[in-house]
Amino acid sequence: MRIHRKTATCIISLFFLITTPLICRGDTTITVYGLGSIEKDNLAQAEQRALDDSFAKAALQASLRFVPDSSVADLMQLLPEYTASRRMQDILQYQITSRARQGDVLQLSVDVKIDDDSLRQWLHSRALTVPRAHRSRVLLAISYLEPGNEAPYEWWAGKAGKAGKAYSPFESQFGRELSRLGENVISPGKQQGAAHYQPDPLDSAHALGADMLITGTIAYTPVLDTLYECLFEVSLVDVVSGAVISSWSVSRRGDFSTEVMNSLMIDEIIRPVRAGISKRILSESPGVMKKTLCVEGISDYVTYQSMINALMSVEGVSRISITGIHGHSICHVMEIKGSLFDAMENLKRRQIAKADILVENEAAYIRILQN
């Protein structure tokens, strides 16, 4: 049988393609110690509790590889919800290497092999992988009328009212809590241009280089003796566009100290406020997601490789790895930021070969048509 130069090149290329290591998921093996309480001497039930504890700790350790220190507090609050929803789906393999009973507690040493792809996607979707320095710069401008005062404190007001170069006690408390959870809160007194206060908080936010503005009012109104009504109205604003992302209103009565009442107000709205901040971060810098890409009808390696090269040149596509070869079809995992549909549209415009392209949810299918 005679083999032409072009045919030989194709065979050699396909040989290297087939012998390339197949990468279909991110595997991480972690050794953890799980604890389970023993009730009524039921060791089987205690072992299951210890395994559940082991799997939760494995997910935490795997998460810490991708999460900066500034997001750890947030991770500790959110991760239990994720592990409860996923249960055993991310556990590829586990082995109990030792058991020890101490009183009414069973301790297991477990080697856990975890598929961290879904975990990483979940972390990206919550913006937990974004360090504080890369998160939106958040400025607070909340008019604060505390008990016993007639005029509100507004640091940005200049000559228009009572003003200063620092946050009010409420803004300081709110800012500390946001910072503790990893947000990039800026202070008006420490920023360039801080002396150029504007009567409009949005103008001050522009001058101070903020990306997001938390603005509104909080006012204490006396009702009876030490009883006060506290009304808190606040909005989250995109500084560049001036658009209000969302607004909230909270009202409470009580005779608590102002610090305690302020905490209650903050606890009511901090989660939705942070969700709005994260949404903006993800829209500007979407996390890397893994999608499936299958190419069918491959008759020559040159055309196939041209398509892969074209996709790799698309902005947002960082990696394409083979997961399986079946006859004239090759499937891949594709790491991409942004829209899979847009990436396929970009490929179609290149007109490398006649092909049908279908995008469905998390996967794209390319069927090369023969002339």
Using one digit for the tens of pLDDT, what is the confidence trace for 150-168?
889 999 885 444 556 789 9
Sequence-ordered list of residues with C-beta below 8 angstroms from that of 143, at least 6 positions apart, any chain: 152, 153, 154, 216, 217, 218, 219
Q: Of 220, 250, 284, which marks where a domain is finished?
A: 284
Residues 280, 224: one domain? yes
d(C-alpha 351, C-alpha 329), whole Å: 20
Per-residue pLDDT tens for 284-306? 655 567 788 999 999 888 999 99
Q: What pLDDT is attached to residue 35?
A: 94
List the domain range (segments joined by +) for residue 95: 27-125
Task: Count how many domains the chain has.
Answer: 3
Regarding whether 291 and 255 lie in a shared domain, the answer is no
CATH assignment at residue 157:
3.40.50
Q: Which of 125, 145, 178 is the last residue of a domain?
A: 125
CATH number for the domain that contains residue 311: 3.30.70
Is residue 13 situated within a structural domain? no
Q: Is residue 21 part of a domain?
A: no
Residue 20 lies in a domain: no
State which of 125, 143, 159 marks the end of a domain.
125
User: Per residue in 221-280, pLDDT tens?
Assistant: 988 877 899 999 999 999 999 999 999 999 999 888 899 999 999 999 999 999 899 888
Q: Are residues 313 and 330 in the same domain?
A: yes
| Closest listed residue to residue 243, CA positions, set 283, 271, 286 | 283
Domain assignment present for 17:
no
pTM recorded for the entire structure: 0.62
Quick check: is 5 in a domain?
no
Domain identity same for 203 and 101? no
Q: How far apart are CA 49 and CA 37, in angstroms?
A: 7
The dihedrals phi and psi of 284, each to the nearest 5 degrees, come to: -85, -35
* Per-block mean pLDDT, blocks of 10 residues, the chain (371 long): 40 38 56 92 92 92 87 88 85 92 92 85 82 89 90 77 75 94 86 56 91 96 87 95 94 90 94 88 67 91 90 85 90 84 87 89 86 63
From the list 166, 158, 144, the residue with the least C-alpha distance to 199 is 158
Residues 92 and 185 in one domain: no
